[in-house]
Structure 1
Amino acid sequence: MGKEPIMDLADGGVSRRRVLLGTAGTGFGGLAGCLTRGEDSGLEGEIVIDGSNTLLPNSALVAELFMWENNQVRISVSGSGTGAGFQQFCRGEADLQNASRRIGDGERTLCEGNGVDWLELEVVMDGIAIIKHPDNTWCDQLTVDELGQMWERGSDVETWADLDDDWPGEEISFYGRDAASGTYDYFTEQITGAVGNIRNDFSGSPDTNNIVRGVRGNEHAIGFAGAGYYEENEDDLEVVEIYNGDEYASPSPETIEASEQAPEDRTVEPYEPLSRPLYLYVREDALERPAFREFVRFYLETTQETARDVGFYAVPDETIEEQRERLEDAIERYV
């Protein structure tokens, strides 16, 4: 039996999410280099994961756990963004693609042109939080229509008073993910009605930590970011509740997971429309490799637990079972 892992990723001064983002930022090389012990299962090989920065912490943690149990397997986890990651995945340069949105038509065409067959797996739930400075005491709730007015291209909302006469006449600073991000695509589609429909003067960043810093430093700022980043910084930030059609809701494990539940099974109102699944895309021909197919199986076995460890939310048991069945069907085609 191997000894206990040599990296302590338990909650503490540095969160699991931050540790995993740091080690994965250079292709997970730092962490992989540390995993020199653990168990030799007989599996060996290399696996390349790229794509969404948002899903990266979950995939990095799953990879760490798998490498500990299979110490002759090396897994590289990078975060070039959903859009850039799909370009590599569809050229056959990555085995797995983390994605914070579904594959687009142009990416489907690119995969088809390069003979890359793929399998889509829904692996975690996430929410997009609307974040503000704690000293912003006026804007606690917004409707989707109000958010759209603020964020759409050509918006005439420049100050808080443009939304409500009782609010300050101070200019709003806008922060969010940049155009290479699936989070950007999902937010604009849900809030402004079309992917890429967003005001030209917002500060877009590939790094959510820059969004957090921007909002944290300006009481008149607003931003959108993955809900896990808010939870990690809730001493310095607050969230704006969003009207979901029935009532106002904020992102939480209960409200986000409720968005995947049948209405009769819900105990709380879902956080909609800003709850979303995150996806793992599997390059099907890689399933011929034993280490690869065992890793994908392991991912589905562990993701409900790892998701909560790194600030995401679990997909329902029924969804996991559906993904397992689809994975096994794909494996049968290659083994």
Structure 2
Amino acid sequence: MERKPPAGGNERSNTDDGSDVSPSRSSRRRFLSAVGASTAALSVSGLAGCLVRGEPSHLEGQIVVDGSNTLLPHGAAVAEEFQWRNNRVRIPVRGSGTGAGFQLFCEGATDVQNASRPILGPEDVPEGQLSEVEQCGQAGVDYVEFEAALDGIAIWVHPDNHWCDCLTTEELRRIWEPGSDVETWGDIREEWAEAGHDGELELYGRDPASGTFDSFTKAINDEIGAIRSDYSASADTNVIVRGVRGSENALGWGGLGYYEENKEDLKLVDIDDGDGCVTPTRETIETGTYQPLTRAMYVYFNVNSFEKEQVREYARFYFSPIDERADRSDVEPGEQLTWTQWAARKVGYFATTDESVREARDRLEEVLARYE
């Protein structure tokens, strides 16, 4: 049977749920639509008992995936490749959001949870509120966590802003901390005020429903949700982009991919975490030198679901080397990526480290040994 080209071809896609996920080339939304349609087609064919695509294997059954809309394109890309090689397995991949997904996951309603942030423990929620870790524990849902992809949160300004090329993490904290008294560019650096760059700051960022909001506030202000209240918050990063490109005094933040799509309208700001100014790029994110705004995104497997062989093999697939049929347009010469690394690059994110993959594979096999 001739292999149909991977959904979306070489395009990247872009989805916006409250998370920052934009492609480094084309539109992640187009990739997501293509993969989603392909995944749905496979699921429908399986339900109808008429397997018209893919290759047969001894595996069969369903794997239910939900969670982060940010990570939805990544999960859908992995699911499509696995389903192609095991065409009696159905993997509906949904994106209810990280928080809503954990609610279902901790009820045992899903096998796999995509997350744009780590699961929340008691230290991450207000006193008296049941954390996600506690919810899973009360329901008897054991789980295992793996890094699935990396992303970078970028700081950008208007392209006519010729004075701000780099900000220190301390300056970012002063700008964004709760109760901040930074109101103008001159409040950030006296030299800017002396040079006449003392316009009133117009600040744009994500809203509290976003996993990117959680990551940014934790990285800059050391506490999830800690941020000044007088900025323009949006669930749609494209709104942030429009705000920044509309004013010379604007400053905003969001997923690096949104800069890649709007290079003519935005100027990227380097970040100095103490070792000099660093630009967010594939290299600096994948090597961990862009700090503290490189973030990991995660995949969680319900350990109880490992009783099902198709779920065990799907988990292994994540950390298995890509085969000769994989599209290698995002693979560098000499690289040997696994499917989770490949999918991250494919949809405009960044690959986790080889060390992370090795650790994940070893930990996974330890868990799977209980079921085989």
Q: How many residues align?
A: 321
1:143 and 2:168 matched? yes
- Closer/same/farther in 2, CA of residues 251 and 6 from structure 1, 3 Å limit: closer
Partner of 2:206: 177
1:120 and 1:279 in contact (8 A); partners too: yes
Distance of 1:317 and 1:333 partners within structure 2: 25
Partner of 1:231: 260
1:314 CA drift (Å):
1.7
- Closer/same/farther in 2, CA of residues 81 and 7 from structure 1, 3 Å limit: closer
Higher Rg: 2
1:20 and 2:31 matched? yes
Q: 1:193 aligns with which of 209, 219, 222?
A: 222
2:12 and 2:31 in contact (8 A); partners too: no
**Aligned pairs for 1:262-301 within 5 A:** 270-301=289-320
2:114 and 2:299 in contact (8 A); partners too: yes
Q: Structure 1: which amino acid aligns with 2:215?
A: Y
Identity over the aligned pairs, expressed in percent?
52
CA offsets 1:147-201 (integer angstroms, 9 cap, x no match): 1111112112223233231354433332222223222112111112211111112
Gaps of 5+ in 1: 260-269
1:126 and 2:155 matched? no
**What secondary structure does 1:134 align onto?**
coil
Partner of 1:264: none
2:204 and 2:243 in contact (8 A); partners too: yes
Q: 1:32 aligns with which of 39, 44, 64?
A: 39
1:117 and 2:142 matched? yes
1:7 CA drift (Å):
3.6
2:203 and 2:251 in contact (8 A); partners too: yes
CA offsets 1:21-78 (integer angstroms, 9 cap, x no match): 4467xxx3x3323445222324222222222233222212111222222233222223
1:76 and 2:87 matched? no
1:6 CA drift (Å):
6.9
2:39 and 2:76 in contact (8 A); partners too: no
1:9 CA drift (Å):
2.5
Q: 1:205 aligns with which of 231, 234, 245?
A: 234
Partner of 2:80: 64
**What secondary structure does 1:40 align onto?**
coil
- Closer/same/farther in 2, CA of residues 15 and 291 from structure 1, 3 Å limit: farther
Q: Structure 2: which amino acid aligns with 1:32?
A: T
CA offsets 1:84-103 (integer angstroms, 9 cap, x no match): 22222112222211122221
- Closer/same/farther in 2, CA of residues 58 and 7 from structure 1, 3 Å limit: closer
Q: Which moved more, 1:293-302 or 1:197-206?
A: 197-206
Q: Which moved more, 1:66-75 or 1:301-310?
A: 66-75
- What is the TM-score when the length of structure 1 is the normalising length? 0.87
Q: Structure 1: which amino acid aligns with 2:245?
A: R
Partner of 1:267: none
Distance of 1:45 and 1:12 partners within structure 2: 29
Partner of 1:266: none
Partner of 1:220: 249
Gaps of 5+ in 2: 14-24, 43-51, 122-130, 321-338
- List structure 1 runs of 4+ shifted beyond 4 angstroms: none
Partner of 1:333: 370
Q: 1:55 aligns with which of 53, 58, 71?
A: 71
1:160 and 1:167 in contact (8 A); partners too: no
Distance of 2:234 and 2:242 partners within structure 1: 11
**What secondary structure does 1:135 align onto?**
coil
Distance of 1:297 and 1:328 partners within structure 2: 8
